[in-house]
Structure 1
Amino acid sequence: MKVFTALEAKNRFGKVIDAAQREPVTVTRQGRPSVVIVSAEEYERRQSRAWRNLLAVMEQTGRYAAEQGLTEEALDQLLADES
């Protein structure tokens, strides 16, 4: 992973963009990582993977709840009891 200081990133932004097209780039401030820059393609890939993972967990949770006998009515009652 390429690393640029904030000043380097500011002064050589074109190079930062070029590097981020190949791999994530870390920008540091005062010697500590501040941000990571990734290409738009990599960002979209990560977002898509995150959504797929979330949907899979939601489906698994729904199946488990159904197996345990949790119905829409029972869920409504549980939620109503909390208010």
Structure 2
Amino acid sequence: MSAAEAKNSFGHLIDTARQEPVKIEKHGRPVVVVISFEEFERLSALQPNPSRRM
């Protein structure tokens, strides 16, 4: 998904990210991945000493 698409359809981005990771591209290059909070927690739990928790 492009950054412009993510901005213009934020609700759709959220709905999709709740089901699967969404890669956001800017100028055709990947810049971020949006994941569900549940997936974030699962991945954070895999780190022995997470340096940053939300």
- TM-score when scaled to structure 2? 0.86
Structure number with the bigger relative contact order (C-alpha 8 A, sep ≥ 6) is 2
Provide the alpha-carbon RMSD of the alignment: 0.9
1:2-27: CA deviations, max 9, x gaps? xx100000000000000000000000
Corresponding residue pairs, total = 49
For structure 1, which runs of at least 5 residues remain unmatched after alignment? 55-83
Larger Rg: 1
Greater helix share, structure number: 1
Question: Structure 1: which 4+ aligned runs deviate by more than 6 Å?
Answer: none
Gaps (5+ residues) in structure 2?
A: 50-54
What TM-score do the two structures reach when normalised by structure 1?
0.57
Q: Would you say 1:32 and 2:29 are equivalent positions?
A: yes
